[in-house]
Amino acid sequence: MEILKCENLKKQVKNKVIVENVSFSMNKGDVVGFIGPNGAGKTTTIKLILGLIKLTEGKVYIDGYDIQKNYIKAMEKVGAIVETPDLYMYLSGYDNLKLTANNYKNITKKRINEVIKMVGLENRIKDKVSTYSLGMRQRLGIAEAIINNPELLILDEPTNGLDIEGTIEIRNLIKELSNEGIAILISSHNLTEIDNLCNRIIAIKNGKIITNDTIDNFKTFSNETTYILELDHLDNLEQVILTHKYETISKNKIRIYISKEEITNLMESLIKNKYQIYSMQEEKLTSEQAFIKKVGENKID
């Protein structure tokens, strides 16, 4: 079931185009990582989806409702944290949740207690937020974002500034929420986090989407695969490998970039030229390597 649909989103301020031709959709239960260099347009896109800034062009539909024509109805299905949770530090966690509940119809005391339990704040919910750790504040922010039973949850850097324990807590909470069928869009610089949480990835650069694919496909670069080859020696190797790019790792190991279709011919050629092949192993790209290859350096063009 399609929860979010973005069609050709564009945001232009004076002569500067910040976001252009951004189109994607999300279904129930999707967990989508939204990545890109600083200034690529991630937060702007999120704010366009949430109606926090005005679209120059394009359409956003949430649960079938056009946010420009039926904003209130569309937002009934949405929870979000953009940048940092908006909390009243001098109030208790519980009082913060009660104030958030007042923004919606028919949020019961039972529902407030449900989200408190979901985010694991039962023991501290009556304490002032000023006494909370960063991780606890982030969990309270997520509690506010899900109090209205959203079908779409948007999280902008949900583990930013958290220690390892806090990061693990938030990751586990996101996994639990996705298991409930909530579609979750996560904007993050932490690619390990994206790897662990998401089933799909959208990469944006200079305001345009350059990748919208599964995590596994994202980590495949063109039709090349990377292999680590261990040979008895590397003498005159370039005469055998010819056109394929390779890097020397040690005195008898190389990293070679070659398609799966061509690897058999390379093996035969090495054997023919009296090389002993000790081992051959496909090397999987990490998300960080794939990011550099597909998105490029962390700069604004």
The answer to whether residue 289 is domain-embedded is no
Q: Residues 225-277: pLDDT tens digits?
A: 788 899 999 888 888 887 788 889 988 998 888 877 888 888 899 999 989 99
Distance CA 187, CA 189 (A): 7
User: What is the reported pLDDT for 120?
Assistant: 87
Residue where a domain stops, chosen among 195, 218, 241: 218
The answer to whether residue 265 is domain-embedded is yes
Q: Do residue 23 and residue 115 come from a single domain? A: yes
The answer to whether residue 136 is domain-embedded is yes
Q: Do residue 252 and residue 159 come from a single domain? A: no
Q: Do residue 143 and residue 23 come from a single domain? A: yes
Q: Do residue 188 and residue 124 come from a single domain? A: yes
Q: Do residue 211 and residue 230 come from a single domain? A: no
Q: Do residue 50 and residue 193 come from a single domain? A: yes
User: What is the reported pLDDT for 256?
Assistant: 87
Residue where a domain stops, chosen among 218, 236, 264: 218
The answer to whether residue 278 is domain-embedded is yes
The answer to whether residue 260 is domain-embedded is yes
User: What is the reported pLDDT for 295?
Assistant: 66
User: What is the reported pLDDT for 300?
Assistant: 37
The answer to whether residue 298 is domain-embedded is no
Q: Do residue 211 and residue 250 come from a single domain? A: no
Which helix (H) or strand (E) segment holds residue 153: the answer is strand 152-156
If one counts every other C-beta atom within 10 angstroms of the C-beta of residue 1, the result is: 10
Q: Do residue 209 and residue 236 come from a single domain? A: no
Q: Do residue 145 and residue 14 come from a single domain? A: yes
User: What is the reported pLDDT for 108?
Assistant: 92
List CB contacts of 238: < 8 A, sequence separation 6 or more.
Answer: none
From 113, 155, 117, 123, select the one nearest 138 (Cα to Cα): 155
Q: Do residue 276 and residue 138 come from a single domain? A: no
User: What is the reported pLDDT for 301?
Assistant: 36
The answer to whether residue 290 is domain-embedded is no
User: What is the reported pLDDT for 169?
Assistant: 82
User: What is the reported pLDDT for 94?
Assistant: 96
Q: Do residue 151 and residue 274 come from a single domain? A: no
**How many domains are contained in the chain?**
2
Residue where a domain stops, chosen among 170, 189, 218: 218
User: What is the reported pLDDT for 221?
Assistant: 55
Residue 255 sits in a domain whose CATH number is 3.30.70.100
Decide: 229 and 256 in contact? Cβ < 8 Å: yes
User: What is the reported pLDDT for 193?
Assistant: 79
- The whole-model pTM stands at 0.77
The residue range of the domain holding 260 is 225-284
For 108-149, where are the alpha helices, taking DSSP H only? 109-118, 134-146
pLDDT-flagged residues of the chain (< 70): 220-224, 284-290, 292-301
Q: Do residue 142 and residue 261 come from a single domain? A: no
